[in-house]
Amino acid sequence: MAEQTASGYIQHHLQNLTFGHLPDGTWGFAHSAAEAKEMGFWAFHLDTLGWSVALGLIFVLIFRLAAKKATSGQPGALQNFVEVLIEFVDGSVKDSFHGRSAVIAPLALTIFVWVFLMNAVDLVPVDWIPQVAVWISGDHHIPFRAVSTTDPNATIGMALSVFALIIFYSIKVKGIGGFIGELTLHPFGSKNVFVQALLIPVNFLLEFVTLIAKPVSLALRLFGNMYAGELVFILIAVMFGSGLLWLSGLGVVLQWAWAVFHILIITLQAFIFMMLTIVYLSMAHEDNH
């Protein structure tokens, strides 16, 4: 029974608040993973969407407040923090991006801060936010996940947005012919036209896999690391419900130790997502052939 209870607790915390078309023909919330699966493609993870938008607005409001209060005299703590962050991101862009674009630096700053804020929600105890959702809804069985980056739909969505920019700038800088040539005439080439024609399928296969690997690496790296971190917090939380005093005490120690270590993870994952975006867009701006 204890095993089933622990298993149910873990599954409940790993399920999103899903809204969609129920089997009886109505629209509503899924109360189990099976119901969420039956909703099909047009099912919405409202917790992921809600927290993503809310944290994005928080980012905008904080930076807008810092911009409104900016002064050339003695800056306040908020202005100092924002300036340090902007200088850090700007330095990363200058070191890794070799083209010319007014979009890359603001994009990199947005990605870093937004992903960091979404990751940082993982530091809130796993039961607090779901309990607030239960209190608001009055439904004790409703699931709720607050860490948007533990949802592959969110990370894939961000990765596809970056991928669209990669394609856009590749075509803008190289032209349609240059972009197609990059996919079909490299890495293997030959001065013999017949041989070059035979090499086109091989080149396309290699370059297409390389191209598709970019959004896949962006999405799965962020999702995998954050999902694993969330799962560790959930497993530690299970220790508190064991009924054993020594195990609960060990859970307190592990909770704090993992939270301190997780601060590094959430920051590093935001930085990696930003840096890979900068590097991929820099490659899209290169026109060497």
Question: What is the set of active-site residues?
Answer: 217, 221, 225
The H or E element that residue 4 is part of is helix 2-13
Helix (H, G, I), strand (E, B) or coil at 44: strand
Strand residue runs (E) in 66-169: none
Alpha-carbon gap, residue 274 to 220, rounded angstroms: 14
> CA 246: distance to chain centroid?
36
C-alpha closest to that of 114 among 45, 44, 51: 51
175: left (phi over 0), alpha (psi -120 to 50) or beta: left
Residues 125, 130: Cα–Cα separation, whole Å = 10
In angstroms, the CA 76 to CA 34 distance is 52
Q: How far is 192 from 167, CA to CA, in rounded Å? A: 30
